[in-house]
Amino acid sequence: MKACEAVIAWTPAWKDDVNAGIVDVFQLGAPIPIRYRRTAGAAFVPVQQLRGMTAVARLFIDFNTLVVRDGIDPQRAHTAFMKVDEYVAYTALERRGVSFQSPEITRPSQSEGVE
3-class DSSP assignment, residue 81: helix
> By residue range, what is the domain housing residue 21?
3-112
pLDDT for the residue numbered 97: 53
Model confidence pTM above 0.85 = no
pLDDT for the residue numbered 91: 86
Q: How confident is the model at residue 31 (pLDDT cuts 50, 70, 90)?
A: very high
Q: Which strand (E) or helix (H) includes residue 40?
A: strand 38-41
Q: How confident is the model at residue 72 (pLDDT cuts 50, 70, 90)?
A: very high
Give percent above pLDDT 90 in the chain.
76
Q: How many domains does the chain have?
A: 1
* Strand partners of residue 38: 10
3-class DSSP assignment, residue 38: strand
Supply the angle between the helices 74-81 and 52-64 in degrees, to the nearest 10: 150
Distance CA 35, CA 51 (A): 29
